[in-house]
């Protein structure tokens, strides 16, 4: 059960829901700031966000049901709709959102890869913020580190904040690379490989269901994402090259100004994480 942040009459407001909403708003704002980079109007961006949000939630839920606890949901089918009690997979969310993005851009007859590049930094920013409210903790610490979380008398790894820090670090990298692309789609490829790598490492600190040894479904999905990223890199570098310009080289360094803002955001996320717990 997710942590309740506060009550509005009979309605429970959950920390994870609030953090997801804040992350989504941040991504929405950032994407609108960058919209001029592709030929897409504000209405199309608004529609795209709604479609991606719905597809992402559906994909995250379906993936979790199929690969994490299928027997339980087979026996309790009405539990499928209780998303407020947890049970979402970020990998499924990514797959659902990508599928919806491919459909929507094809429908509007606009190229998919520039849109994916536009959204990638915003998506990882949203993920980093959203993790602050997640109540899926890590394994018991081997020793009493000061940043551990006391959970039922045991110190566990705060994997949520580990991911927040790594996600925001990946955001800085993607933001800095957005004007130094070798091919259209490269920012998305970096996002796909980068986030897969983050989850591959963090899975060893989490307590997800194990398939064999210490390998979880997220490990296997992460490996597939990395292989997909490698394949896309080899393909797109040949078919979607982007010529470099002097302006692009100069603008890369402007992204260094984002460091202070991201460091401040990281500090706020860490502070909020420990306060609400």
Tens of pLDDT, residue by residue over 4-16, are: 777 777 777 778 8
Asked whether 175 and 257 are in contact (CB, 8 A), the reply is no
pLDDT at 82: 75
- Indicate if the pLDDT at residue 252 is higher than 60: no
Domain that holds residue 162: 4-275
Per-residue model confidence (pLDDT) at position 256: 65
pLDDT of residue 254: 46
Whose tokens are 């959970």? That residue is: 151
- Judged against a pLDDT cut of 80, whether residue 72 lies above it is answered with yes
pLDDT band at 169 (very low <50, low <70, confident <90, very high): very high
Q: Are 208 and 162 in contact (CB under 8 A)?
A: no
The pLDDT value given to residue 148: 94
Residues, the chain, total?
277
- Kindly report the backbone phi and psi dihedral angles of residue 82, in degrees, each rounded to the nearest multiple of 5, phi listed first: -85, 65
Cα dihedral 141, 144, 147, 153 sign = positive
Instruction: Please report, for residues 36, 40, 81, 92, the alpha-carbon distance to residue 47 in angstroms, rounded to integers and kept in the order given.
Output: 16, 11, 24, 21
C-alpha to C-alpha distance for 109 and 93, rounded to whole angstroms: 24
| Residue 248 pLDDT class (50, 70, 90 cuts) | low
Distances in Å between the alpha carbon of 29 and those of 23, 36, 128, 194, 255?
10, 13, 15, 23, 17
Looking at residue 39, its pLDDT comes to 64
Q: Between residues 274 and 38, which one has the greater pLDDT?
A: 274
Q: Are 156 and 138 in contact (CB under 8 A)?
A: yes
Mean pLDDT calculated for residue range 230-238 = 96
Span 87-93, mean pLDDT? 87
- Is it the case that residue 243 has pLDDT exceeding 80? no
Residue 234 neighbours by CB distance under 10 Å:
9
Structure tokens, 91: 């990998």
Q: What's the CA gap between 198 and 177, in Å, rounded?
A: 18
For the segment 175-197, the average pLDDT, to the nearest whole number, is 92
pLDDT at 245: 62
- pLDDT tens per residue, range 131-156: 998 888 899 998 999 999 998 889 99
- 239 burial (CB, 10 Å; 0-12 / 13-18 / 19+) is exposed
CB 59 within 8 A of CB 92: yes
Residue 268, pLDDT score: 95
Q: Which of the two residues, 185 and 40, has the higher pLDDT score?
A: 185
**Domain tally for the chain?**
1
| Between residues 147 and 259, the one the model is more confident about | 147
Helix ranges, the chain (H): 15-34, 42-67, 70-75, 90-108, 112-130, 159-177, 186-202, 217-239, 246-254, 258-275
pLDDT at 76 over 70: yes
Tens of pLDDT, residue by residue over 200-232, are: 999 889 887 777 777 888 889 999 999 999 999
93 pLDDT tier (thresholds 50, 70, 90): very high
Question: 256 burial class (0-12, 13-18, 19+ CB within 10 angstroms)?
Answer: exposed
pLDDT given at position 122:
95
pLDDT classification of 266: cutoffs 50, 70, 90: very high
């Amino acid at each position: 059960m997710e942590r309740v942040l506060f009550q509005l009459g009979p309605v429970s407001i959950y920390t994870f829901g609030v953090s997801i909403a804040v992350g989504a708003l941040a991504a929405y704002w950032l994407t609108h700031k960058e919209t001029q980079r592709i030929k897409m109007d504000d209405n199309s961006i608004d529609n795209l966000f709604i479609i991606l949000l719905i597809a992402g939630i559906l994909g995250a839920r379906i993936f979790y049901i199929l690969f994490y606890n299928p027997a339980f949901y087979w026996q309790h089918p009405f539990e499928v709709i209780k998303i407020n009690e947890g049970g979402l997979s970020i990998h499924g969310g990514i797959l659902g959102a990508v599928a919806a993005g491919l459909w929507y851009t094809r429908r509007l007859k606009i190229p998919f890869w520039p849109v994916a590049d536009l959204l990638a930094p915003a998506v990882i920013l949203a993920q980093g913020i959203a993790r602050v409210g997640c109540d899926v903790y890590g394994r018991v610490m081997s020793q009493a580190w000061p940043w551990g979380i006391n959970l039922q008398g045991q110190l566990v790894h705060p994997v949520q904040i580990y991911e927040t820090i790594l996600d925001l670090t990946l955001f800085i990298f993607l933001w800095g690379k957005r004007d130094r692309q070798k091919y259209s789609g490269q920012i998305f490829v970096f996002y796909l490989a980068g986030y897969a790598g983050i989850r591959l490492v963090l899975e060893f600190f989490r307590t997800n269901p194990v398939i064999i040894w210490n390998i979880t479904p997220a490990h296997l999905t992460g490996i597939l994402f990395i292989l997909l990223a490698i394949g896309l890199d080899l393909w797109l570098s040949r078919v979607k090259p982007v010529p470099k310009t002097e302006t692009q080289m100069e603008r890369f360094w402007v992204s260094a100004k984002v460091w202070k803002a991201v460091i401040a955001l990281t500090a706020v996320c860490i502070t909020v994480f420990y306060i609400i717990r």
